[in-house]
Amino acid sequence: MLFASFVGLIGLILVQERADAIDRAKLHLGNLRSTAESSLDSIIHSFELSLDAVVFGLEKFDVASYPPAVQRAILFDRSAFAPQFSGINIIDATGRVIMNSRDETLGLREGEIATTTLQDRSFFDVHAKRDDVGLYVSEPFKRRQTGEWVIVFSRRFAGADGGFGGVVAGALRVSYLQALLDRLDLGRRGNASLVRTDGTLLVRSPGTSDPTMGLPVKDLLQIVDRETRGVFEAKSPAEDRLYAYARLEKLPIVLAISESKAEILADWKWRAMIIVLAMILLLTLATILLLRFSSELDRRRNAELALQKAARQLEHLSLTDSLTGLANRRSFDLAFEREWARHRRERAPLSLLLIDIDHFKAYNDHYGHPAGDGTLSLVARIIETEARRQIDVAARYGGEEFALILPDTDADGALAVAERIRITLAQQEVLHSHGINGLLTISIGVATAGRADTDWNARKLLEAADHSLYEAKHAGRNCIAARQSHGVTAIAVV
């Protein structure tokens, strides 16, 4: 028994030491990820702004009427000439390059640029077939003229008739990304990779062929689908590794940085040998005291956990509506007060939706209260599903009325969320004998406090949402009405 206690305590210390070593490695990997993520976001965002500026100039101005030098001054900002970028191409609907921010990179003489065709490139084909792609990130490929490896970021632009006008494509040098990742403190067996969300490897550092350092792309992408950033462990017969990953904001690109667990635990193994010898001596003296106090410590620990669990359950019950599982009125009031204070402090927009089920009393009277409860739960699930961010707060405001707090959301964003909720319920086609077209519908009032200083307070925002809901009801129900702090706007969406 005494020997078992010795072994157990030694084991606990070693396990904790091992966990600490892994935690330190996770922290280190997380810091490397944040550093690389910040640099990549800055680089790519700057490039994206340059592409957006070109698309804007092409769609809003008749640039063709100006001399070439003036055209370039209008379309290409200084960011387009940064050393990490290998030029921006403007490609017409037939795939011909009609303008380039750096003609010299194409190896062409004056007047020859229009003969260069990129119609066979994947990014051109994607934009030509679809108008909803947004910013497209290509696989790495070697440029025909220079032999340089690049990744193309591209956007579609509209022609004069509103159809496909062509593509604005900017090339980011793979060598630049490689150098950026190479500067990270990866250790002897660490690596960093950029992967497209379809599994295509974009960049890797170091560029080794060691199979034990391979990236588990399938596992990584499955994890990213559930959570956009974090740390996970990948086990393999060759070598176990820790990965810190993050999906770059609004981009189909995942950054993954890893370190070998064998390297992480190398120092721990050496310390473990010393700890084993030292603890054998110490445990001989501590065994009697441990036996005496272990029972009391376990009892107190269990009692504390039981109290904490009971407290959490009570708090959950006090803040949750039992029927719908949403926040209740008390929880809504606390969240609304908190978000209003943040709105005033940070000057961020704040929107509030009040949602009411149309003719709900008639529905209850006709179909019965169990069906009415089911309808409340259905609407609650729809609202909770469309409130996609963790900072959004969905609550049952009272009776058949719900509320949705949308921090950092302007009027357009709030109206988009409201319309998704309204349409999603309509698609359920819930029968309602007294409803519009015989179906269950909702009316939504939207109020938004903008970034600018106003005379509004939290009560006025709530009143504005309530007035909007009244206007939606008065307009015939199954619609949305909205108000903003800088003047009053009524909007109905049927």
Active site (catalytic) residues: 400
| Torsions phi, psi for 133 (to 5 deg) | -75, -35
- The two structure tokens encoding residue 454: 């106003």
Cα 244 to chain centroid distance, Å, stands at 16
Which residues, in sequence order, are CB contacts of 282 under 8 Å at separation 6+?
none
| Torsions phi, psi for 480 (to 5 deg) | -130, 140
Whole-angstrom distance, CA of residue 3 vs CA of residue 295: 18
Residue identified by tokens 């009272």 is 398
Per the DSSP assignment, residues forming a β-bridge with 154 are: 136, 169
The DSSP result for 435-480, as a single string, is SGGGB--EEEEEEEE-SS--S--HHHHHHHHHHHHHHHHHTTSSSE
CB-count burial class (<10 Å; 0-12, 13-18, 19+) for 219: middle
Give CA torsion, residues 476, 482, 486, 487, to 10 deg.
Answer: 0
**72 sits in which H/E element:** helix 68-75
